[in-house]
Structure 1
Amino acid sequence: MTRYLGNGAYCYANSASMLLSTIGEDVEPGFFEVMTGFALGAFLSESNRIFFDSCSSSPDEGVNRAFDILGFHVQEKVKQDGALMPLDELREDLAVSPIMLGPLDMGHLTYNPNYRYVGGSDHYVLALDINVQEIMLHDPAGYPYVWLPLEQLDLAWKAERIKCSQGSYRYWLSPERIESPSVELVYERSLRLFQSRYKQQAIYGTDSNYVVGTNAILAKAEHIRSGNLVHGEIEHLIHFALPLGAKRAMDFSRFFAGSHTQLAHLKELQARLFGKCQSAAMLQEWCVLADTLEQLSEVEGEFEAAVTAL
């Protein structure tokens, strides 16, 4: 596999990596992304959009699991829905450590030229400094050292439109290494997490009547073949779901390389299929896109079976 280096919607992995770097720890974002276990499986949302991740989990929970697997203790704070923004607490904590904030609603991040078009999308950043009116952020979407007015921070950080996270004003600070697990132990812990993710997905799909896993991918392929795609679904696919799916699959392939040849191969194959889906969608070759999604579903089923059998 030729390694890919480039942009990707890795906001929480990039932000967590930046936070860990403040104590001299170098954890590659792609490696951290895999450790969360969040980017496994698939599900159809209520708006009929497909997400290639675990509907039974959240980025927040995944971030905490990754910290644990890698041997870090990181303070996490979150307020109840309806609480006021903890501005004084934030100021005190920023005097101690940079802070990872999220989820934020991207529709209120006014330094981003596209903020008007991405409302309701979740995002994670690293906070560095604060004054009376603004907060300074490293935004991994391509905006280092930007300043955000505190009234916009309040709206974004309240995350009222973000459904995958419980509570408001969540943040992490003061990472500390408390354990140095071996490569073998990290692999074993990760594998157990991956297995639990698939079990949780199946249970969640049954309990919540969500279409999940391979069935979700097949359902989306059939929906595309029927010609009923609307503009918002296409935008979701070409700007988010497909390119992110490809990048995540490549990072999983790298993780398994040298430890499990079959799993590494299946994830590389998934990455190639995601790329083919992206190309077909941009050319509006809907039958090709549907056919390729069906192939992707088959590979996803093989991967899930291989992981759960270990």
Structure 2
Amino acid sequence: MNHVPYIGSGPYCYANSFAMMFGDRGPSTAVIEFAAGGPFGMQLVGGMLPFFDPYGWTPEAGFDDALAALGWTSAVRRGGTAEQALAALGAALADGPVWVGPVEMGHLRHQPGMTGPIGADHYVVVLGLADGWVLMHDPQGHPYATLPVDDFMAAWRAESVDYATPFTLRTSFRQIRTVTEEAAIEAALPAARRWLAMEQGRHLPAGTIGNAEAAERLAGTVEAGCDRGLRDHLVHFAVRVGARRVADAATCLGRIGRGEAAAVMDRQARLIGALQHPLVVGDDAAAAALLRRLAPSYGELLTALA
């Protein structure tokens, strides 16, 4: 069966935010995700919370590698007091949009149902700041959203996002060399192999496991009885973004002639995507069987990328 690239909605917040900052000179979101390393592995953080991304990976951990592979640079500001951060944001906006995150999505009250922290990271592009309101493009589906400054600052403090440094922003995006998408994909391969080999994880919560072991452990957990919190995390976020980023990686690998690796990642994407229905309807035995089929694919992919 041929690989069919996916085009559509999904939780691609940081890739979409980068694409907005790059403008018409930027690569596709698929290439941005590939360059950031997100598609290459699976982890069970603390032995409990699953993500279809590499062992020890966070979005922040992949950004500098991604910018280097894509031929871009930016300036980063982190920390300080809320007053200092708000002043820095206002000053940066004089030169154009500002990339902000991670933020705690639960404080973004323009999104329906958000009333407080939920432990979910998110990224936005801030466009303006005036009269006690923040104007932003929120890639969750809210262009030109407005939010009271107090709510925005609570989100930007990101106290419930485990990897976050409060008040992180990026400015001064600058293209330092022209890189084709194919060249960017090639340039990102060494980092992809390191992530897949679980060589780059640092400062991990105790009990964190990756790849085949993570898939097998999650299969057992789901089979024994998937609780509401785990099921909601999987069906609303982890499966959706995991299937998409892995499918996008298969597309990228196919573009540079890495057919064997592309085929493995296409199979991974199909298995991850197929989890959605059984998890939604409560067929946990079927979901566990899919995860067990997924487990050996991480070793196969590392061999194919070697």
CA contact (8 A) 1:11 1:124 kept: yes
The corresponding residue for 1:8 is 10
Counterparts of 1:152-191 in structure 2 under 5 Å? 152-165=151-164, 167-182=165-180, 185-191=183-189
Q: CA deviation at 1:112?
A: 0.6
| Alignment check: 8 A CA contact 1:77 1:172 kept | yes
2:111 paired residue number? 112
Cα separation, 2, equivalents of 1:202 and 1:91 = 35
Deviation at 1:187, TM superposition (A): 3.2
Residues 1:202 and 1:12: Cα distance change in structure 2 (over 3 Å): closer
The alignment yields a C-alpha RMSD, in angstroms, of 2.1
CA distance in 1, matches of 2:243, 2:231: 17
What are the residue-to-residue correspondences of 1:1-310 with 2, within 5 Å? 1-21=3-23, 24-46=24-46, 48-80=48-80, 84-116=83-115, 119-165=118-164, 167-182=165-180, 185-201=183-199, 204=202, 208-227=206-225, 229-258=226-255, 259-307=257-305, 310=306
The alpha carbon displacement at 1:183 in A equals: 5.3
Cα offset for 1:304? 2.5
Q: Secondary structure at the match of 1:169?
A: coil
Structure 1's 203 and 19: CA in aligned 2 closer, same or farther, altered over 3 A?
A: closer
Give the C-alpha shift of residue 281 in structure 1.
Answer: 1.3
Residues 212 and 205 (structure 1 numbering): CA distance in 2 closer, same or farther, change over 3 Å?
farther
Instruction: Find the aligned partners of 2:122 and 2:302 in 1 and give their Cα distance.
Output: 28
Identity of aligned residues (%): 28
Question: Greater RCO between the two (CA within 8 Å, min separation 6)?
Answer: 2
- Once residues 184 and 12 of structure 1 are traced to their aligned partners in structure 2, the CA distance between those partners, rounded to angstroms, is 21
TM-fit CA distance, 1:231: 0.5
Judged with a 3 Å threshold, the aligned counterparts in structure 2 of structure 1 residues 159 and 277 are, in CA distance, closer, same or farther, namely: same
Q: Secondary structure at the match of 1:66?
A: helix
Which string of whole-angstrom CA distances, capped at 9 and with x for unpartnered residues, describes residues 91-138 of structure 1? 111010200100000111011112137622000000011103011000
TM-score by length of structure 1 reads 0.91
Question: Aligned residue pairs: how many?
Answer: 303
Between the aligned partners of 1:49 and 1:201, the Cα distance in structure 2 is: 20
Tell me the distance in 2 between the aligned counterparts of 1:291 and 1:242. Answer: 15
Kindly provide the amino acid, as one letter, of the partner of residue 241 in structure 2. L
Alpha-carbon contact 1:54-1:201 (below 8 Å) kept: no
- Paired amino acid for 2:234: L
Distance verdict in 2 for CA 1:254–1:116, change over 3 Å: same
Query: Is residue 71–residue 176 contact of structure 2 (8 Å, CA) maintained in 1?
Result: yes
**3-state DSSP of counterpart to 2:161:** coil
Aligned-pair CA distance for 1:65: 1.7
TM-aligned CA deviation for residue 198 of structure 1? 2.7
- CA gap of 1:106–1:202, structure 2 versus 1, over 3 A, is closer
Q: Aligned pair in 2 of structure 1 residues 257, 169: CA closer, same or farther (>3 Å)? A: same
**Distance between the aligned counterparts of 1:153 and 1:286, measured in 2?**
38
Partners in 1 of 2:92 and 2:79 — Cα distance?
15
Give the secondary-structure state (helix, strand or coil) at the position aligned to 1:50: strand
CA deviation profile, 1:263-305 (whole Å, cap 9, x unmatched): 1111111111112211211222111111111111122221123
- In structure 1, stretches of 5+ residues that fail to align are none
**Can you give the 5+ residue segments of structure 2 that lack an aligned partner in the other structure?**
none
Deviation of 1:85 (Å): 4.8
The CA deviation string for residues 225-261 of structure 1, in whole angstroms up to 9 with x for no partner, is: 223x210001111111112111111100010004210
What SS class does the counterpart of residue 39 from structure 1 fall into? Answer: coil
TM-score by length of 2: 0.92
